[in-house]
Amino acid sequence: LERSQEIEASLARGDVKVVVFGTGSAGKTSVVNALMGQMVGRVEAPMGSTKVGETYHLKMPGLEKEILITDTPGILEAGVAGTERGQLARVLATEANLLLFVVDNDLQKSEYAAFNALADIGKRSLVVFNKIDLYTEEDREAIIVKLRERLVGFSKMDIVAIGAHPHSVKLETGEIYQPEPDIMALIGRMAAILRAEGEDLIADNILLKSQRLGEEARCLIDAQRRRQAEKVVERFQWIGAGVIAVTPLPVVDVLATAAVNAQMVIEIGKVYGCELNFERGQELAMSLAKTLASLGIVEGAIKLISTALQLTIATFLIGKAIQGVSAAYLTRIAGKSFIEYFSHNQDWGDGGITEVVQTQFQLTRKDEFVKLFIQDALAKVVEPLTNIYSQNEEVEMEKESDEEDEINYRPPGMIKQDNTINDWDTESRVKWEDW
């Protein structure tokens, strides 16, 4: 919404945005200073002095619209800071109505690539050959010829030679003379372009911004859908893991089928605006489960999870936890594969379902992911499983204790039975005497 309002405001104002772009040593700030007729920016070398984009207001005779001149950080500078500044410069350049690409010699290959990238998105540009005071007339002409040869299809009139900040000269008298900036060729060409193409430049730039806004909106929607779909996958992976951990499957061959839930497929499809019935969801789920099995991913997952669990939990729980955690792992691979499928308008791509599933398997095999996954599995599968078996052991112990108490307990008056013959009783004594 903010970007949309910004575009509307830009259209209403009708400002012309001129962005000065190039390497840190090309003299961009000197060009801005010369255009403004005053020292508005510092001039330093070899690494540019402009840290962020700085914008100045300029009124040009014969033009009603206000011109905003933005001095950008240098591109192609060394180090992390230089890279970040270069990225900022490129962003600012894409927002220009007119781009002044400043060079101080023939184009380097890296400069040429940057220029072409901006030309490809339709940026109206002038190539400004600066520091001509450092060259002889012959060398100057040779460089201009080279620039024209490299920039095939680029108007000769749009390659302008200037001296924005000529070096001072020591006169015979010993005085230091500072020549005036030689930039009339640039001012004249800018004025001609802005008078003839100003409205079109503004309209083209607003159209480009609108297109970028549409792309940004699509990216935001895609990111939001992906987050929502990943929540669906996570919910199903731990639900399925818990069930299988408590009631293990008789054979691991059916683990893939159990891990790929048709309802999960339906819900992921719904996130992406695809309404599937249960039969279609089941068909897709079975297809992916077969792919998991045929690629050997089921065995690979079990081996990976077994190794990871052996390092973290008690031996007696490993056998019970492996199936559940492996099922969660397979559910994740399946779920992420379906996210790719639905995000590409229900298309598996040129490599088919096999390539998508293999890619997701490779991503989930990375050590960093496995470590985090096992941490979640310990909390969501192993710990509840431990609690269940601990409770069962307590119940068994209580039951055994109750049985022992029942055996040892004798109600009052109860006589203990004894099968030993009492030879002191009368009948037994008679038998003894008869014997």
Residue 54 and residue 153 in one domain: yes
pLDDT at residue 15, rounded to an integer? 75
- Positions in the chain short of pLDDT 50: 1, 3-4, 7, 11-12, 39-50, 78, 392-395, 397, 415-417, 419-424, 428-435
Does residue 43 lie within any of the structural domains? yes
Residue 303 and residue 367 in one domain: yes
Q: Which domain holds residue 171?
A: 2-182
**Cα 337 to Cα 330: distance, rounded to the nearest angstrom:** 11
Give the CATH number, domain containing residue 110: 3.40.50.300
CB 101, CB 128: distance < 8 Å: yes
pLDDT at residue 390, rounded to an integer? 53
The answer to whether the bond into 248 is cis (omega within 30° of 0) is no
pLDDT at residue 44, rounded to an integer? 45
pLDDT at residue 6, rounded to an integer? 54
Does residue 212 lie within any of the structural domains? no
Longest dimension (CA), the chain: 164
**Cα 56 to Cα 36: distance, rounded to the nearest angstrom:** 8
Number of structural domains (the chain) is 2
Does residue 123 lie within any of the structural domains? yes
pLDDT at residue 361, rounded to an integer? 93
CB 189, CB 98: distance < 8 Å: no
pTM of the model: 0.48
> What is the DSSP code string of 258-296?
HHS-HHHHHHHHHHTT----HHHHHHHHHHHHHHHHHTT
